[in-house]
A and B are shown apart, each in its own frame.
Chain A
């Protein structure tokens, strides 16, 4: 009895609060409100509206920005993960805790901290004023990019680190015995074996970056409209839930396609089930 039914409350909960809400989003996205009686009528018009150039451009801009953030995170994060994985155990443990710590701090606080630093009278401008400069750093696209990299860098480093730690040293030694130089060992052994970690890192950076509306609102000052901002506006300002739902479905499909594409590079990820943070 216990064996059989102990998952039942969870299954019911998931259907109520995961499956049905998703069905609702799809339903809303495929309908419009009749202006006379407020009834929902089936229509593709929300998706047709998305095909207008300005909305497509918003999606393209979000994707480009998230892509840039992901690349920067790989460039900064991969070497960091390698250095961490080769440290002696005691120091390594301490540094990993230190590395996770900022991640556990409230996400808005971390973003707010950059508002303070980049602001007109902020720390960086204070330093620059000594040499007579004053730059507009906050409320720019660069600030949004910085916010993404800052917030999501640990998500890139940790999965790569975990995978690197598991690599059997014998492979590396064997390759070296057979005359491979350092670069070849990295190219032929370390990098291919770290692929699963790199891929979860990419998903864990790209996904929150492409769907964010907080970073673009706070560090972009409302000037940088991303797909997340567009969805938020439709729901909380413009009250067009149907179009907002259509945008959410498009974002969801985009992310699913992206994940299917990126998982192709990872040959054996059957038992991981996608997410690998915990």
Chain B
């Protein structure tokens, strides 16, 4: 009995630790005054200020554009790559999978800097740091997540159906479209959603690969926090938190078991 209470209290304490900062942020985004510790009445003025802030709105635009484009491109490249890797010989597959793990194992700062060096090198050929370079970086770190979520679905698939389709005269592309694709679609969508959120969340790699006045939300928040604390950031956090919450609910509905999620 006592044991049960200790467990319950421990769980509550940990969740309080995880959520208290977020809840405080949300509450004080509705505060009338600039203070982030004493409550002076309800107001939406920080939200109004947020939507009137051109710099923040522009970085929101770049964040979403980059997330949409990079997750779509990474999903296309990654899905075909997973299909190719699945059909490779063992040694070849091992090499490619290790290559695939490289951006996941490398610290973000090293990935960011290595890409920055490449882009600086390419600047001789008129490639300038900006949205395009940030997009390339995001695609690069997103592809591994797509491959890692599509590959297990391919392994679960019954290979005979694909072969049967080919026997019945389907071209490889037709068989891929009609047999393989529907079978691995859940993996593709999960991969794309992970890629999307990774892109929205990224700071370090974007920080080193963008330039020319292009910044995403993370970079904007970073420069804002370095200048001091402002309730507009709270308003922004609240909105983002709501968006993430709804996205996660969608993902959760999609995945049948917890194992898919973790």
- Please list the residues of chain A having a beta carbon within 8 angstroms of any beta carbon in chain B: 1-11, 13-14, 17-22, 24-25, 28, 76, 79-80, 83-84, 92-93, 95-102, 104-117, 119, 121-123, 125-126, 150, 153-154, 158-159, 161-162, 165, 207-208, 210-211, 213-214, 217-218, 228, 231-232, 235-236, 241, 244-245, 248, 251-252, 255, 259, 273-275, 277-278
Query: Separation in Å of the A118 CB from the closest CB of chain B?
Result: 10
- Do A105 and B244 touch across chains, with their CB atoms under 8 A apart? yes
Q: B168-204: contact bitstring with A at CB < 8 Å (1 yes, 0 no)? A: 0000110010000000000000000010010011011
Extra inter-chain contacts (13) besides given A13-B77, A115-B225, A217-B226, CB under 8 Å: A3-B84, A7-B96, A8-B84, A10-B77, A28-B117, A83-B7, A92-B258, A97-B252, A100-B248, A101-B245, A106-B240, A207-B107, A255-B107
Which residues from B are CB-within-8-Å of A110? 21-22
Closest to B180 in A: A2
On chain B, which size bracket covers the interface? 35 or more
- Do B252 and A252 touch across chains, with their CB atoms under 8 A apart? no
> Contacting B110 at CB < 8 Å: which of A121, A211, A275?
A211
Residue B217 interfacial (CB < 8 Å): yes
- Do B21 and A113 touch across chains, with their CB atoms under 8 A apart? yes
Closest to B8 in A: A83
Closest to B245 in A: A101
A123 to B114: give the CA distance in the assembly, Å.
40
Residue B85 interfacial (CB < 8 Å): yes
A219 to B212: give the CA distance in the assembly, Å.
28
- Do B113 and A80 touch across chains, with their CB atoms under 8 A apart? no
- Do B116 and A235 touch across chains, with their CB atoms under 8 A apart? yes
A25 to B109: give the CA distance in the assembly, Å.
12
- Do B22 and A3 touch across chains, with their CB atoms under 8 A apart? no
- Do B248 and A121 touch across chains, with their CB atoms under 8 A apart? no
Q: Name 27 interchain pairs, CB-CB below 8 A, sorted by A.
A: A3-B172, A8-B84, A9-B80, A9-B81, A10-B143, A17-B118, A18-B103, A25-B113, A101-B245, A106-B200, A106-B217, A106-B237, A108-B221, A109-B237, A111-B225, A112-B233, A116-B28, A117-B20, A117-B24, A123-B24, A126-B37, A150-B17, A211-B108, A231-B109, A232-B109, A252-B107, A275-B105
Query: Separation in Å of the B151 CB from the closest CB of chain A?
Result: 10
- Please list the residues of chain B having a beta carbon within 8 angstroms of any beta carbon in chain A: 7, 10-11, 14-15, 17-22, 24-25, 28, 35-38, 77-78, 80-81, 83-85, 87-88, 96-111, 113-118, 121, 136-137, 139-140, 143, 145, 147-149, 172-173, 176, 194, 197, 200-201, 203-204, 208, 217-218, 221-222, 225-226, 229, 233-234, 236-237, 240-241, 244-245, 247-248, 252, 258-259, 261-262
Query: Separation in Å of the A78 CB from the closest CB of chain B?
Result: 11
Which residues from B are CB-within-8-Å of A80? 10-11, 14
Summarize A's interface: helix, strand, loop or mixed. helix
Query: Separation in Å of the A110 CB from the closest CB of chain B?
Result: 7
- Do A107 and B113 touch across chains, with their CB atoms under 8 A apart? no
Would A7 and B35 be within 8 Å (CB), given that A107-B201, A113-B24, A235-B116 are in contact? no
Which residues from B are CB-within-8-Å of A79? 10
Which residues from A are CB-within-8-Å of B237? 105-106, 109, 112-113
Closest to A124 in B: B37
Query: Separation in Å of the A207 CB from the closest CB of chain B?
Result: 6
- Do B77 and A278 touch across chains, with their CB atoms under 8 A apart? no
Closest to B88 in A: A7
> Contacting A17 at CB < 8 Å: which of B7, B36, B136?
B136
- Do B107 and A10 touch across chains, with their CB atoms under 8 A apart? no
- Do A116 and B25 touch across chains, with their CB atoms under 8 A apart? yes
| 6 closest Cβ pairs, A-B complex | A7-B84, A10-B81, A21-B114, A113-B21, A211-B107, A6-B84
Query: Separation in Å of the B227 CB from the closest CB of chain A?
Result: 12
Query: Separation in Å of the A98 CB from the closest CB of chain B?
Result: 7
Would A108 and B203 be within 8 Å (CB), given that A10-B78, A13-B140, A207-B107 are in contact? yes
Query: Separation in Å of the A1 CB from the closest CB of chain B?
Result: 6
Query: Separation in Å of the B201 CB from the closest CB of chain A?
Result: 6
Closest to B25 in A: A113
> Contacting A96 at CB < 8 Å: which of B104, B145, B261?
B261
Would A126 and B38 be within 8 Å (CB), given that A2-B173, A235-B208 are in contact? yes
Which residues from B are CB-within-8-Å of A100? 248, 261-262
- Do B96 and A122 touch across chains, with their CB atoms under 8 A apart? no
Closest to B20 in A: A117
Which residues from B are CB-within-8-Å of A278? 145, 148-149, 194, 262
A166 to B229: give the CA distance in the assembly, Å.
44
Which residues from A are CB-within-8-Å of B222? 108, 214
Query: Separation in Å of the A247 CB from the closest CB of chain B?
Result: 9
A150 to B81: give the CA distance in the assembly, Å.
36
Would A24 and B88 be within 8 Å (CB), given that A102-B19, A259-B105 are in contact? no
